[in-house]
Amino acid sequence: MQQSKNRLMGELKMSKLKKMTCLGLMAMATVMLVACGQTDSTNNEASMNKDSTEFPLTIENYTVSSEGADFSAKEITYKSRPTSIVANNQGTAELLLQLGLGEDMVGVAALYGEGDKKVAEEFSKIPVLSKEYVGKELVVGANPDIVIGRGQLFASAEWGTGTVEELNELDIQTYIQATSTSEATFDDLYTDIKNLGNLFTVQEKAQKFSNEVQKRMDKLVESIPADQEAVDYAYIFDAEGTNVNIYSGATDTYLNDALGHMKLNNIFSDTTGEISVEALLEANPDVLLLVNYTGGRDPKESLADLKANEALSSLTAIKEDRIYTVDYNQFWSYGYQILSGMEQLSTQVYETN
């Protein structure tokens, strides 16, 4: 009897010990799960916070000769995030606004074309240093940390911001858009967006905008029939009477490459210097692109004179009425606005909806 009692007591103790052990293991597991959950949460928060840059930051960029013509690679080190920016042209300012940098803008210049309506309200808050190209004195007077924009405007001239070296001597940093350099392609737009995103610690916005640009380009390319033959074009900056200002666009490789994506071919892409009417007649492009820029001749008047010019009457573009107006800001700001110009041209040249 006593043995049975002792055995029963032993079994009860063992059962209690097992229960305590099981509860202890469950508690430990709970603690571990909580700890893992905290770690995962921390990691997720860290992965979500992508806007971070370690300074000093070194970026492969450019300098340009004093007349704004010849580019050279230049490694630039930025000690900290700039907080006051001058954009040397309209399109550059609009690109910076797309990255959420409106509050950092202390000046813009060269307002030569139609603006992006999506950022028009923010753009109106930026001090305009000059509606035309801006000189170094006004740029320096705005007290910027950095000047960003079209490379050809970093020139030592009345119409130039001053060279990269001149601005650096005044403790003003520079960033030349890769899209504005010689041999640039459309892919350089993604480079600019990425570099500016890193420089201003807005990587997430930069990546989002880059994706939007890619989607627009992909959609545009897909809209062009696969069997579509290349269409040759030439630029006309203006025309008055029998005078015709023909522009080769040979150095605008960014534009040439971008338009090439929609099977438009610059017929003078290998031509330098002035282009005569005789050369235009010989080339006989399918399409003429008439440039509209603020301060220039009304494109409607130029168009009328082109059509009335007997010397040009044999041109295919004139006979078939294939002269299309393009906006200066969309094309020569070397930014994302080229897509708006391309989308418009696509509906005109290929008569798509």
268 to 234, 237, 248: CA distances (angstroms): 7, 14, 5
The CA distance from 68 to 115, in Å, is 25
Q: Do 57-220 and 225-349 agree at the fold level?
A: yes
Q: Which residue from 54, 59, 57 is spatially nearest to 75, judged by alpha carbons?
A: 59
Provide the pLDDT confidence category of residue 22 given band limits of 50, 70 and 90: very low
Statement: residue 251 has pLDDT above 70: yes
9 confidence band (pLDDT: 50, 70, 90): very low
What is the rounded distance in angstroms from the CA atom of residue 313 to the CA atom of residue 320?
10
pTM of the model: 0.85
Residue with more model confidence, 19 or 131: 131
Phi, psi of 46 (to 5 degrees): -65, -40
Q: Residue ranges of the domains in the chain?
A: 57-220, 225-349
Q: Which amino acid is at 143?
A: N
Q: Summarize the confidence of residues 273-291 as an average pLDDT.
A: 97
Which is more confidently placed, 72 or 352?
Answer: 72
The pLDDT of residue 220 = 97
Nearest by Cα to 180 from 62, 339, 326, 269: 62
In angstroms, what CA-CA distances link 176 with 106, 173, 183, 251, 333? Answer: 18, 10, 14, 16, 12
Q: What mean pLDDT do residues 300-317 have?
A: 97
Residue 64: HSE in the Cβ half-sphere, 13 Å Cα cutoff: 26
CA–CA gap between residue 121 and residue 233 (Å, rounded): 35
What CATH number labels 57-220? 3.40.50.1980
| Residue whose token pair is 């900056």 | 237
The DSSP bridge pattern shows strands 231-240 and 243-247 to be antiparallel
pLDDT classification of 237: cutoffs 50, 70, 90: very high
Residue 252 has pLDDT above 90, yes or no: yes
Q: What is the mean pLDDT of the chain?
A: 89
What average pLDDT does range 204-209 have in this prediction?
Answer: 98
- Categorize the per-residue pLDDT at 115 as very low, low, confident or very high, splitting at 50, 70 and 90: very high
Rounded to whole angstroms, the Cα distance separating 308 from 301 reads 11
Angstrom distance (rounded) from CA 143 to CA 251: 32
- Asked whether the beta carbons of 317 and 351 are under 8 A apart, the reply is no
More confident residue, 21 or 53: 53
Q: Is the pLDDT of residue 121 over 80?
A: yes
Coil, strand or helix at 195: helix
- Condensed to tens digits (0 to 9), the pLDDT of residues 43-100 reads 433 333 478 999 999 999 999 999 999 999 999 999 999 999 999 999 999 999 999 9
Separation between Cα atoms, residue 37 and residue 191, nearest integer Å: 38
| Structure-model confidence comparison of residues 21 and 175, the more confident one | 175
* Separation between Cα atoms, residue 102 and residue 126, nearest integer Å: 8
Cα dihedral sign, 85-87-90-96: negative
Question: Can you read off the two tokens belonging to residue 202?
Answer: 């807005």
Q: What is the per-residue pLDDT for 130? A: 98
Per-residue pLDDT band for 352 (boundaries 50, 70, 90) equals low
pLDDT of residue 20: 42
The answer to whether 343 and 220 have CB atoms below 8 angstroms apart is: yes
What would the pLDDT profile of 189-200 be if each residue is shown by its tens digit?
999 999 999 999
Which percentage of the chain shows pLDDT scores above 90? 84
Structure tokens at 269: 């892409």
Is the confidence at residue 3, as pLDDT, over 60? Answer: no
Q: What is the pLDDT of residue 154?
A: 98
CA dist 267 and 294 (Å) reads: 26
**So what's the pLDDT on residue 351?**
81
Among the CATH numbers 3.40.50.620, 3.90.1150.10, 3.40.50.1980, 3.30.2130.10, which is that of 225-349? 3.40.50.1980
